[in-house]
Amino acid sequence: MSHSRSSRRSETGQTRLLELGYAQGLPRLLPWPYNTAIAFCILSSVSNLTVCFTPALVGGGPATLLWSWVVSCVFTVLTALSLSEICSALPNSGGLYFYACMLSGRQGPLAGWITGYMNVFGQVALLAGQVYSLMQLLSVTVALGTTMMYGQPYEFTPAEVIVISGVVMAFQGLLNSMSGLVMGWAAMVFTTWMIGGGFFISWCLVLVSKRNHSVWWLLAEFQEPSIYQSDYNHGYNAFLSGIIMSTWSLMGYDAAAHMIEETISADRAARCSFLLTAGISSVCGFLYLLGLAICIQDWQSLFDPGNETSGMMPAVQVLWDGFTWRFGSGIGAVMLMTILIVAAFGAGMSTITAGARMINAFARDDGLPKWLPASYINSRGVPLGAVWFLVICAFLPFLTLLWSPILLTNVFAAATLGLTISYGIPVFCRLVLARHTFVPGPFSLGRWTHLCGWTVIAWTVAAALICSLPLAFPITVTDFNYSAGVLGIVLLGSFASWHFSARHWFQGPQPSISSSDAVRVKEFGWK
């Protein structure tokens, strides 16, 4: 009986996929909680926020940090709502690329081409950023541990960072050679680890800290810029920098769409996966930030270049100060850091899981060169070609460490910029180009569609501008924000390749069923 019920549930998603013109190529075995867990792991608020703690905090204190997080969370949830409505109607693992194609009428192939490459760029930058976050956490943990043991910190050389990052990504790629169901189960384990670990770290800090601040100091008292980091933004600029890092920490919830072809009752699961991922991550992230901020012992000393983290990792310094001020030893902080390292590893693993599905779908529709094996699916239903394509592309930016760390340090803003824009394009297409033709799925915003959608579009424009701002003044070669330039190269390359080549042969979705919705859109909308 239970098997029969499961079959009926899976039939709605599979039937809708057939209506869109695609035969079931990936095994549809994921319950919606597994889909949600994969997306939640990518956001990994505990590890991402630990790394991205500095820009907002240094310029205005905890109040700037917390309020920039709240603002980002509100707009993230609204974006998730708009994308949930679209995904419910178009449950395809191509996600944003597929939505842009299907909702843009005559401009469908162009919109899909640009959105597809923006999303591929965003997925690559997101994975590189996740692994770079892991390396930063690992580096500071090793430095603190060796300081306790030998009296001086051990610092990784650029070559060591490259080698370790490559090993980590290769291992994550090997894990992703297993089925989507196994990766969903692993994501459930990592989700439990992240939520439980975040609460455990905050609870430990509150218990051991000798000084706990009031809620008023946290939320209403904006601090003067740190005397140790005078080159960072302050005031409203610090708030905007905080939005960049907060938005980065909330990137990747489109994974719910990329796993949709493997999810049971996909058209109905879209609402749960998008909203739960954005909502739970927002709450968990706020509580984690609140726990860290409450336990700051000396706000100014967090950025002292002479402290244990060289003033570059204030969140870790909060952990260290809490334990050393109470017990005279930071071994407790080092042990808690292992929770964050494992969480960061899970984030990278799930980023590959979801990103590979998106790349596979784009390659399936001829969006990537055919000589790339990105559309290859093995006998277990794993898009293995896309997995290793993503791993290799994300590893390449690490090679720049041999010359300069500038490009890699801009990967956070680059991923945020690319993914934010690719989130906004389908919403715009839904409101403007498909306002009379869009047919909602099981989940619809009804009369709130336009208010929510136009708010998302305004946020997309604002966030794109914010992500292009420099993080520090005066602007130098080291501190300049290169993310807009990198994205500009991607956009220029996309438009150039479209104009000179792709417009003659790229048709967008390549349905295999002649009576499908995608075929009808191509016949009547793209001519």
Residue 338: partners with Cβ closer than 8 Å, 6 or more residues away: 141
Per-residue confidence at 227, pLDDT binned at 50, 70, 90? Answer: low
Task: Choose from 171-180, 303-312, 478-487 the range with maximum mean pLDDT.
Answer: 171-180
The mean per-residue pLDDT over the stretch 113-131 comes to: 91
What pLDDT score was predicted for residue 13? 61
Does residue 21 surpass a pLDDT of 90?
Answer: no
Classify 38-525 by CATH class: mainly alpha
Phi, psi (degrees; rounded to nearest 5) at 472 = -150, 155
What pLDDT score was predicted for residue 10? 43
Higher pLDDT, 331 or 264: 331
Per-residue confidence at 232, pLDDT binned at 50, 70, 90? Answer: low
What pLDDT score was predicted for residue 9? 46
Residue 286: partners with Cβ closer than 8 Å, 6 or more residues away: 66, 69, 70, 73
Answer whether 283's CB lies under 8 Å from 291's CB.
no
What pLDDT score was predicted for residue 12? 64
What span, in angstroms and rounded, lies between the C-alpha atoms of 46 and 12? 35
Does residue 62 surpass a pLDDT of 80?
Answer: yes
Average model confidence (pLDDT) across the chain: 84
Range with the poorest average pLDDT among 14-23, 415-424, 504-513, 515-524: 515-524
What pLDDT score was predicted for residue 472? 60
Does residue 278 surpass a pLDDT of 80?
Answer: yes
Work out the burial of residue 510: count CB atoms within 10 Å of its CB; fewer than 13 is exposed, 13-18 middle, 19 or more buried: middle
Q: Which two tokens stand for residue 298?
A: 């000396």
Task: Choose from 76-90, 337-351, 355-369, 426-440 the range with maximum mean pLDDT.
Answer: 337-351
What pLDDT score was predicted for residue 303? 82
Does residue 138 surpass a pLDDT of 70?
Answer: yes
Answer whether 509's CB lies under 8 Å from 116's CB.
no
Range with the poorest average pLDDT among 9-13, 159-163, 505-509: 9-13
Higher pLDDT, 95 or 227: 95
Please calculate the CA angle 219-220-221 and round it to the nearest 5 degrees: 110
What pLDDT score was predicted for residue 346? 96
What span, in angstroms and rounded, lies between the C-alpha atoms of 250 and 39? 10
Q: Which two tokens stand for residue 421?
A: 């824009």
Report the greatest alpha carbon distance in the chain.
73
What pLDDT score was predicted for residue 245? 81
Higher pLDDT, 409 or 395: 395
For the CA atoms of the chain, what is the radius of gyration?
23
In the DSSP assignment, the letter for residue 429 is I
Q: Which two tokens stand for residue 274?
A: 């998008």
What pLDDT score was predicted for residue 256? 86
Per-residue confidence at 24, pLDDT binned at 50, 70, 90? Answer: low
DSSP-assigned beta bridge partners for residue 29: none
Question: Could you report the per-residue pLDDT of 426-476, keeping only the tens digit for each?
Answer: 999 999 988 888 888 888 898 899 999 999 999 999 988 887 777 666 666
Tell me, what amino acid is at 272? Answer: C
What pLDDT score was predicted for residue 519? 47
Question: Could you report the per-residue pLDDT of 397-416, keeping only the tens digit for each?
Answer: 999 888 877 767 777 677 77
Instruction: Give whole-number Cα distances, 349 to 143, 191, 258, 416, 438, in Å.
Output: 25, 12, 15, 19, 35
Residue 1: partners with Cβ closer than 8 Å, 6 or more residues away: none
DSSP-assigned beta bridge partners for residue 232: 472
What pLDDT score was predicted for residue 8? 46
What pLDDT score was predicted for residue 195? 95
Does residue 7 surpass a pLDDT of 70?
Answer: no
What pLDDT score was predicted for residue 262? 83
Q: Output the pTM of the full model.
A: 0.89
What pLDDT score was predicted for residue 234? 56
What pLDDT score was predicted for residue 60? 74
Per-domain boundaries in the chain: 38-525
The mean per-residue pLDDT over the stretch 243-271 comes to: 82
The mean per-residue pLDDT over the stretch 329-338 comes to: 92
Residue 492 CB neighbours (<10 A)? 10
Per-residue confidence at 218, pLDDT binned at 50, 70, 90? Answer: confident
Question: Could you report the per-residue pLDDT of 37-51, keeping only the tens digit for each?
Answer: 999 999 988 999 998
